């Protein structure tokens, strides 16, 4: 006897056909999970799992405290990555902006310590960045800087002081530290629950995590960051200069 798919997958398949058949308009709210559960004669948890399948496919979107909606198509914008180390932090697109919140005296985890070439537990400054476009969060970043470099200076906290809003390159230059190189390692990932909520995407949506580390002219890491970029909204492009150095 052939094995049947779980109920949530069968319902997801049926909902997919209803969505693609035009039963709901773009942006329209679907019936409540309780109402759907009654019509399909299953529990609300089964409906939730079925809807999560379609959310991961980009057909639906969930809005906290509001319900589930037919997802309007979101244009996929180009995000150009270049060799210019002064680009971070920066707006992800023209007309964008960013907000940040910094915490000092944070012990470095083993992973962060390895990336910064310091001992685990050494103190770092941790900054959370939210990049916005049309007042909507479209990209996130976690940044860590060794406190040994900036402690007791006016640039210790990127979110405060006279250099608030300036790039890592500018802030380090004020201390006589010349940032000359960036190393990036992009990898596909799934967002955490908090990241998905902030970005307004589904828990199963793909994101690209760009692990970036800035180095000074001696090769010392001065900052490392994880950029979280929703794959459904951004097409990452790299522009590399081919000019021979003088």
176's tokens: 């006589």
**Structure tokens that stand for 208 in this block:** 């690209």
Q: How far apart are CA 175 and CA 154, in angstroms?
A: 9
CB proximity list for 135: less than 8 A, separation 6 or greater: none
Cα separation, 120 vs 129, whole angstroms: 23
Rounded Cα–Cα distance for residues 19 and 26 (Å): 9
Q: Distance between terminal CA atoms of the chain?
A: 72
Mind listing the pLDDT tens digit for each residue in 41-74?
Answer: 999 999 999 998 888 777 888 887 788 999 877 6
Beta bridge partners of residue 29, listed in sequence order = 69
Q: Is the pLDDT of residue 88 over 60?
A: no
pLDDT in the model for residue 1: 45
pLDDT of residue 246: 60
Q: What is the mean pLDDT of the chain?
A: 88
Strand partners, 100: 129
Separation CA 37–CA 17 (nearest Å): 17
Highest mean pLDDT among 154-163, 201-210, 211-220: 211-220
Q: What domains can you pick out in the chain, each with its CATH number?
A: 7-70 (1.10.10.10), 77-238 (3.40.1410.10)
The total number of residues shown for the chain amounts to 246
* Confidence (pLDDT) at 167: 86
Task: State whether residue 44 is helix, strand or coil.
Answer: helix
Contact yes or no for 88/167 (Cβ under 8 A): yes
CA dist., res. 210 & res. 79, Å (int): 12
Provide the percentage of residues in the chain whose pLDDT is more than 90: 57
């Amino acid at each position: 006897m052939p094995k049947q798919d779980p109920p949530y997958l069968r319902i997801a398949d049926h909902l997919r056909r209803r969505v693609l058949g035009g039963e709901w308009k773009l942006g329209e709210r679907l019936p409540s999970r309780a109402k759907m559960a009654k019509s399909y004669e299953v529990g609300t948890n089964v409906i939730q799992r079925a809807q999560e399948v379609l959310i991961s496919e980009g057909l639906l979107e969930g809005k906290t405290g509001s319900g589930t909606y037919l997802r309007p198509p979101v244009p996929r914008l180009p995000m150009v990555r270049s060799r210019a180390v002064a680009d971070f932090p920066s707006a992800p697109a023209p007309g964008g902006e960013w907000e940040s919140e910094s915490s000092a005296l944070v012990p470095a985890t083993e992973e962060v310590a390895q990336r910064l070439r310091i001992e685990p537990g050494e103190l770092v400054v941790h900054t959370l960045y939210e990049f916005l476009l049309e007042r909507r969060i479209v990209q996130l970043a976690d940044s860590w800087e060794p406190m040994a470099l900036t402690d007791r200076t006016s640039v210790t906290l990127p979110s405060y002081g006279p250099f608030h809003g300036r790039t890592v390159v500018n802030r380090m230059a004020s201390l006589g530290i010349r940032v000359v190189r960036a190393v990036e390692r992009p990898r596909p990932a799934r967002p955490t629950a908090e990241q998905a909520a902030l970005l307004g995407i589904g828990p199963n949506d793909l994101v690209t995590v760009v692990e970036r580390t800035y180095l000074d002219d001696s090769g010392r890491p001065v900052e490392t960051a994880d950029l979280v970029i929703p794959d459904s909204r951004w097409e990452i492009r790299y522009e590399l200069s081919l000019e021979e150095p003088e």
